[in-house]
Amino acid sequence: MREALRKSNEHHVTITSEDYAKFCEFFYKKTGIVFTDKKGYFVERRLQERIEKTKSESFRDYFSLLRFQMSGDEWQELINNMTVNETYFLREDYQFDAMSNGMLPEIAQERPAGRSVKIWSLPCSTGEEPYSIAIHILEKWALADSYAIEICASDIDTRVVTQARRGVYGERSLQRLSPELRRKYFSKTGVDQYLIREELRESIDFSVTNIIDPLHMSRYRSVDIIFCRNLLIYFDDISRRGAVELMYECLSPGGFICLGHSESMSRISSLFKPRKFGETVVYQKAG
């Protein structure tokens, strides 16, 4: 089928199976993401688009550009085109309940009021997750005012991080928010356009971070809770293990990792103890 698609469009350059395999291997080594056969059509279409946009004459030319361009701009553009950024406000919010009813009270028990509590949304995509964390804490954690809460949010994709900083969302993202929360934390700025309150935008520290890059990850230390949800499903066990080991270093003793509902730490790492809060399991670093 791939051959047929290639031939159907004469403007496309030829990508052989070996080229495609080389590309996937390179992408995997740099991001941890594995492209399954099911995604072949999507990946190859995006790849062809970038080859055309950069006016590369062959796959080989494009691949050299990706690897050796000094600025790294094309590599970043490619990542921005290949990632799956699906997210929305209050996604899997039972974990936010576990945070305000279980993890934060435990942290507060060991930590005098006035000190900081650090929470990291990695990956944050377009920002709905870190803003949901902030809203949830303000609404549901009685001690929110007693601690200096720092929320960081990161993603490998520069385009989504820019969107997250702007904080403008459509109805589809806000679907799970009550009218009251919409009124309290957003202003309507247009048809199907809501801007999140400035205090919230300014309270979150957004950055571009690759979870499998030790240098990027070394910028984060003493984090109390990491929300790493709906990313490891795109990895294999080797890159999952690498990411989890780097997150381990970023956490405070006793710190927590929350994974997405279809993700689990079993098979990947024995560094963490599973903890059940309500109906959800999160993973705790030894204290």
The contact set with ligand SAM (CB under 6 A) reads 31-33, 83-87, 91, 123, 125, 129, 155-157, 160, 209-212, 229-231, 260
* ω into 123 cis (within 30 of 0): yes
CA distances from 287 to 105, 248, 263, 273 (A): 15, 12, 23, 10
175: tokens are: 């679907």
Give the shortest CB-144-to-ligand SAM separation in angstroms: 22
Give the shortest CB-88-to-ligand SAM separation in angstroms: 7
Query: Max alpha carbon distance in the chain (Å)?
Result: 67
Compare residues 5 and 84 and give the one whose CB is closer to ligand SAM.
84
Q: How far is the C-alpha of 245 from the C-alpha of 238, rounded, in Å? A: 11
Compare residues 84 and 281 and give the one whose CB is closer to ligand SAM.
84
Q: How far is the C-alpha of 3 from the C-alpha of 72, rounded, in Å? A: 30
Compare residues 44 and 129 and give the one whose CB is closer to ligand SAM.
129
Give the shortest CB-184-to-ligand SAM separation in angstroms: 22
Give the shortest CB-125-to-ligand SAM separation in angstroms: 4
Compare residues 80 and 203 and give the one whose CB is closer to ligand SAM.
80
Percentages helix, strand, coil for the chain (3-state, rounded to 5) are 50, 20, 30
Compare residues 7 and 29 and give the one whose CB is closer to ligand SAM.
29
Residue 269: CA count within 13 A, CB half-sphere? 23
Give the shortest CB-79-to-ligand SAM separation in angstroms: 7
